Amino acid sequence: MEIENLMDVELEAHHADAHVAVDAVTKLADGLPAFGIVAAVMGVVHVMGSLHLPPPALGELIGAALVGTFMGIWLAYGFFGPLATVLEKQGAATSIAFQAVKVTLLASLNGYAPQVAVEFGRKALSIHERPSFKELEEHVKSAKGK
């Protein structure tokens, strides 16, 4: 029972460590649209101070203000938001692997035969990462021969 609690604490620590970068990038992505709005407002203020300029020059200043808005939104939803999602999925993938090791070790400690304990661990893996029973058996047999 104590070893399971220790493993749970270790998994939670790993999960928390993996989320530090995810949380930072997510907060950056959440703040960038506001940055774009601030850039637009500052651009409009600059345009208001330049109303004495001819219309083509004012158009350039207005365009610059809109570029600031575009950049904030594009960086948030086109770059940093997806980056946070990728980081989160990578952290979850490593957590699943650790969870499989935990299940295997606990099954072994609870007296299950090694083959059964390994099967428990195999079942804990994601369906996309899980080897078939036959693939696992062939791998174990080839490892025994080495």
pLDDT in tens, 78-119: 999 999 999 999 888 888 888 999 999 999 999 999 888 988
CA distance 127 to 142: 23
**The pLDDT of residue 31 is above 90:** yes
Rounded to an integer, what distance in angstroms lies between the CA atom of residue 117 and that of residue 40? 60
pTM of the model: 0.68
Query: Measuring CA to CA, which residue among 20, 28, 9, 31 is closest to residue 87?
Result: 20
Please spell the DSSP secondary structure of 27-65, one letter per residue: HHHHHHHHHHHHHHHHHHHHHHTTTTS-HHHHHHHHHHH
Per-residue pLDDT band for 8 (boundaries 50, 70, 90) equals confident
pLDDT average, residue stretch 124-136: 86
Which of 140, 106, 103 is CA-nearest to residue 121? 103
